[in-house]
Chains A and B, each alone.
Chain A
């Protein structure tokens, strides 16, 4: 039972979460077409290649779109943030009233550790749109 060594080791979700828990935001870069992949997967979404390499992301990005969810307990922000290379993730923009979040604002990420770690964002210094 010889397995294909290209796919040995933990799967991409597990590798992503492990890196977050170690304080690093890692994104997959395609070695064939240079696309950046998020969420993690075994296959490049742009070209179908399985040759994906993990690289450290500085966590800088821009607000691609945003909404304010009106909850009885209080309004909160849900945003899609575009990171370098075009990878897009759902997150929230913190430290600013949700209504003041604007498409195009520059943001920077911070890891929230835990059993299921994730990344949140704040407005980058001097950011305006």
Chain B
């Protein structure tokens, strides 16, 4: 018996500003441009949007700010803020709202000027008094603590972490829209400046500007729109902690739960997935999510990536746009995972296109491995 939300909605429009270094543009400028692009992509108008979903690290009242700027009066809205995974939480919320008639056209959107604002995360009113006295370099030290634990428990090596960065770069070199496309070797990563052991500068994602948006609607309407729909077959979300000191097991994330929920709704498993996007804010993320989403056994992701599986030409293409490590990372990267998955399903990816992609998994992370969200998208053939 199929899940009542399986395949009932589809991503029909995508917008990506690709403005990774854009002085003079505010986060709202990036968001608005992306929203226009996404609606034009699917032939809908701003006035059609009646469900608004957004989150920004620079706005405490994003729905209000965005509705005003876009000139829309949504009858359903959700500004859930769980860091970079927010937009996949929004996707799950939009599916339910669409299927239950609370809205007909959902716009999920984001904008950031993190690079031109000085490369710093905007200070959020979210103090962590039990961690602050020890001055962890936020967020990298949190991921470094997880990486150190993973290395201790499973023998994961720095060279294996480096191979994640190299694979991402090799994909970016095939993507004309990636921000960084210079050649990168394992030795270059390993000799990069250490920032918070065991993570070096090259284990850390880019800092860029950017804007992204998607339009989601019910499947029966999606068929009448100009673009090949990317049907949402399953989603799953999970939350496990806020501060890294409260993470139950630093070598295992709650992507285990978000993944199981998404697989159950979609009625597929990792063995069916031939393309995936995982939120690689740091190299350790890719290893954790390959394991926790079931693409290899726990502790074996290091060996998987060092064998070339996730690189161009490998058996399991991962982060084919170049990822947060080499394509772009405006602070909350999650929506860009969905956009690449949609483009792969549409067959629009040029030199980096994977042949015959019918199913794609997009996974996003928020906070310090705190929130996890998984979405499984498919073409009409998978319905």
Give A residues with C-beta under 8 Å from B. Answer: 13, 38-39, 45, 64-70, 76, 78, 80, 88-92, 99, 103-104, 112, 116, 118
Known A65-B146, A103-B148: A70·B193 in contact at CB below 8 Å:
yes
Asked if A66 contacts B246 (CB within 8 A), the reply is: no
B 144-179 binary contact with A (CB < 8 Å = 1; else 0):
111011001000000000000000000000000000
Chain A residues with CB under 8 Å of B196's CB are 67-70, 78
Chain B residues with CB under 8 Å of A78's CB are 134-136, 141, 145, 196
Extra A-B contacts (17), CB below 8 Å, given A66-B145, A69-B137, A69-B141: A38-B130, A39-B243, A64-B250, A70-B195, A76-B135, A88-B245, A89-B130, A89-B245, A90-B131, A90-B134, A90-B136, A90-B244, A103-B148, A104-B152, A118-B130, A118-B133, A118-B134
Chain A residues with CB under 8 Å of B244's CB are 80, 90
* A3 vs B12: C-alpha distance when bound (angstroms): 53
* A90 vs B243: C-alpha distance when bound (angstroms): 9
Query: Which one of B136, B152, B193, B246 lies within 8 Å of A69 (CB-CB)?
Result: B136
Counting CB contacts under 8 A, is B348 at the interface? no
Known A89-B130, A90-B245, A116-B129: A64·B149 in contact at CB below 8 Å:
yes
* A66 vs B243: C-alpha distance when bound (angstroms): 15
Smallest distance from the beta carbon of A32 to chain B beta carbons, Å?
A: 19
Smallest distance from the beta carbon of A12 to chain B beta carbons, Å?
A: 12
Known A89-B245, A90-B245: A67·B134 in contact at CB below 8 Å:
no
* A12 vs B129: C-alpha distance when bound (angstroms): 13
Chain A residues with CB under 8 Å of B145's CB are 65-67, 78, 80
Known A80-B245, A92-B134: A65·B195 in contact at CB below 8 Å:
no
* A80 vs B197: C-alpha distance when bound (angstroms): 14
Chain B residues with CB under 8 Å of A70's CB are 193-197
Interface centre among B144, B146, B148, B193 (most CB of A within 10 A): B148
Smallest distance from the beta carbon of A93 to chain B beta carbons, Å?
A: 10
Smallest distance from the beta carbon of A91 to chain B beta carbons, Å?
A: 6
Query: Which one of A39, A99, A103, A112 lies within 8 Å of B130 (CB-CB)?
Result: A39
Smallest distance from the beta carbon of A123 to chain B beta carbons, Å?
A: 17
Smallest distance from the beta carbon of B193 to chain A beta carbons, Å?
A: 7
* A76 vs B197: C-alpha distance when bound (angstroms): 11
The 8 closest A-B pairs by CB, nearest first: A67-B144, A90-B245, A65-B149, A68-B197, A118-B133, A103-B152, A39-B130, A90-B131
* A86 vs B135: C-alpha distance when bound (angstroms): 23
Known A70-B194, A103-B152: A91·B144 in contact at CB below 8 Å:
no
Smallest distance from the beta carbon of A77 to chain B beta carbons, Å?
A: 8
Smallest distance from the beta carbon of A103 to chain B beta carbons, Å?
A: 5
Q: Return 23 A-B CB contacts under 8 Å, by A number.
A: A38-B130, A39-B243, A39-B245, A64-B250, A65-B145, A65-B146, A65-B148, A65-B152, A66-B148, A67-B148, A67-B196, A69-B141, A70-B193, A70-B195, A80-B250, A88-B246, A90-B243, A90-B245, A91-B134, A92-B134, A103-B149, A112-B133, A116-B133
Chain A residues with CB under 8 Å of B193's CB are 70
